[in-house]
Amino acid sequence: MRSKGATAVPTGPDVPAGQHHRDGYKWIALSNTTLGILMATINSSIILIALPNIFRGIHLNPLTPGNSGYLLWMLMSFLVVTAVLLVSLGRVGDMFGRVRMYNLGFAVFTVFSILLSVTWFGGPSAAVWLIVMRVGQGVGGAFLFANSSAIITDAFPHHQRGLALGINTMAAVGGSFLGLVLGGLLAPVEWHLVFLVSVPFGLFGTVWAYLKLEDSGLRVRSRIDWWGNATFAIGLIAFLVGITYGIEPYGGHTMGWTSPFVLACLLGGVVLLVAFAVIETRVEAPMFKLSLFSIRAFSFGNVATLLAALARGGLMFLLIIWLQGIWLPQHGYSFAETPLWAGIYMLPLTIGFLLAGPLAGALSDRFGARPFATAGMVSTAAAFALLMVLPANFSYVLFALVLLLMGLSMGVFSSPNQAGIMNSLPPDSRGVGAGMVNTFMNSAQVLSIGVFFTLVILGLAAGLPHVLDHGLVAQGVPAGVAARVAQLPPVASLFAAFLGYNPMHQLLGPALGHLPHARAAYLTGRSFFPRLISGPFHTGLTRAFSFAIGAALVAATASWLRGGKYIHGVTRVDEPVAARGELGDEDDLVPLVLEAES
């Protein structure tokens, strides 16, 4: 089904779409796009572990009032930009060539990685520079994310797409966890290395993609939907900015959800996104092809994608806080060592995903996405429930086993779900369809971070003031000083735990000088703060994981409702329907392994 005013034309040497499977080209396409996605996702997460070293390197204290905005935007800028641009750039790829836009993304990402790695100044100006360059990286990453799945779908026959997309999805999720380990290894040596590490791969991948990749999909001649692009971009940016600043304190409130600025961003963003939906039903060549939601496998697959990302998007942040700010210091690790070991101790999650992703993707080629995606989200909910019942000071063996289950569950869901969505798309809509999928996922991840942080901060606000007041007084801190510190917004304690800091130096200030040396050393050492925060943090953790369980179970329901195996253009009698401009009825399809396209 094509939009009015849009014409699909074949590209390449007069070869129909989906038949560029000769001479091993499909493996070149898979390996290059996997490299691009791996590079982008490593860079999206490497900064999480490297932040303490980055702030020390630019001589900026992230816990000083007024500096928390720099911390939030270093974390969120990449995700926000990719979420905003994915659909637009997927549409542009359908119009001007997916490989061309993918190549441009490789080049843009590499240029901004170089600019990040040569940061030579410090202070707030350096923080602003890093944030702006991260935005540029996000633009390049959006080009890569928006077109990689479509390139793979064009290159592979439908009976191998699950395996291919499974490997690509494995790189996307695995890269986000690999970035944690790389950040822990490189940042203590020299913080510039966390950005420089991707430059040689970016240069190699850019040249390789330019020389070897071919545009083998249908190219859609169409107009750019300027009004749709504008309302979508401004609306989504406003909404995500509102979520980001809602985490910060406002006035005398624990968080900023009552701030006029935050409310205006959230309300204005929703209004603009509603306007965008109306515009997309009226323009000749819409950016966001709402007609694709008439495909059952596509619509329910996207609902499952959004809810799955909502369930697990904030998980990495909470695990880093749990390990880096609480568990590792209590088990003898200094705060200087915790970033590296936090990444290492999270490896079972990565291993589980790497084991399950390709296998589940290959099996979905035969049996369809529904059984695997549904089971994956049910077991994800079970893994969250197990994390919820672990004590704050857990046994690592049990923790590692739960992380392994979580990784296996994510792999069983992600690869088949992505393959099921991409198989359901008409060839001339694969770019915009992939952009829509990734937009739902990235937007939900930002929203998940906001929800998880909000629930954890509420848990801290309920118990931390009393615990902090009592604990400080017990160590000889004057009651007035202890009461003042206890009433500070708990978000500072949360960020301190996230960064692997002990904030007692900053919170107590001159009062430390009036305490006996042993008491002062204990308060600022590696034991006092982690033990103090662990109880209130676990209360917030329970709330966040309860939310994640609910989202995962609804995602499982959506996965089941997608129907049986569905490949666009194939009916029960193997009769192509795409040529007639029809979508067909998914329920009429049979779950057979269809012969490969020649």
pLDDT band at 515 (very low <50, low <70, confident <90, very high): confident
The verdict on residue 598 lying in a domain is no
pLDDT band at 249 (very low <50, low <70, confident <90, very high): confident
Of 297, 553, 587, the C-alpha closest to 426 is 297
Supply angle C-alpha 47, 52, 56, rounded to 5: 120
Q: Tell me, what's the pLDDT at 276?
A: 87
Q: How far apart are CA 323 and CA 319, in angstroms?
A: 6
DSSP H stretches of helix in 215-327: 226-246, 260-280, 296-312, 315-320
pLDDT band at 569 (very low <50, low <70, confident <90, very high): low
Supply angle C-alpha 392, 395, 399, rounded to 5: 80
User: Of the residues 261, 284, 307, which one is the last residue of a structural domain?
Assistant: 284
The answer on pLDDT for 42 being more than 70 is: yes
User: Of the residues 247, 265, 284, which one is the last residue of a structural domain?
Assistant: 284
CB 471 within 8 A of CB 532: yes
- pLDDT tens profile 301-353: 999 999 999 998 888 888 988 998 889 988 988 877 887 888 889 889 888 98
Of 355, 361, 485, 334, the C-alpha closest to 415 is 361
The answer on pLDDT for 275 being more than 70 is: yes
Q: How far apart are CA 237 and CA 232, in angstroms?
A: 8
How many angstroms separate the first and last alpha carbons of the chain?
A: 24
Of 535, 534, 525, 520, the C-alpha closest to 475 is 520
Name the β-bridge partners of 220.
8
Q: Tell me, what's the pLDDT at 19?
A: 44
The verdict on residue 474 lying in a domain is no
What are phi and psi for residue 24, nearest 5 degrees?
A: 75, 10
User: Of the residues 238, 268, 284, which one is the last residue of a structural domain?
Assistant: 284
The answer on pLDDT for 417 being more than 70 is: yes
The answer on pLDDT for 21 being more than 50 is: no
The reply to whether 219 and 246 lie within a common domain is no
What are phi and psi for residue 542, nearest 5 degrees?
A: -60, -40
- pLDDT tens profile 49-84: 888 889 889 998 877 767 777 887 888 888 888 878
The reply to whether 233 and 368 lie within a common domain is no
| 386 vs 159, residue with greater confidence | 386
- pLDDT tens profile 104-134: 999 999 999 999 999 988 899 999 999 999 9
Residues 6+ apart with CB under 8 A from 297: 369, 420, 421, 423, 424, 562, 563, 566, 586
The reply to whether 218 and 125 lie within a common domain is yes
At 10, is the secondary structure helix, strand, or coil?
strand
The reply to whether 212 and 231 lie within a common domain is no
Q: How far apart are CA 173 and CA 13, in angstroms?
A: 35
Q: Give the domain range for residue 94.
A: 9-224+285-460+534-588
The answer on pLDDT for 585 being more than 70 is: no
The reply to whether 553 and 447 lie within a common domain is yes
Q: Tell me, what's the pLDDT at 544?
A: 93
Mean pLDDT of the chain: 82
The verdict on residue 162 lying in a domain is yes
The reply to whether 334 and 259 lie within a common domain is no
The reply to whether 134 and 181 lie within a common domain is yes
The reply to whether 198 and 245 lie within a common domain is no
What are phi and psi for residue 8, nearest 5 degrees?
A: -95, 130
Note the residue count of the chain.
Answer: 598
The reply to whether 293 and 259 lie within a common domain is no
The verdict on residue 34 lying in a domain is yes
The verdict on residue 436 lying in a domain is yes
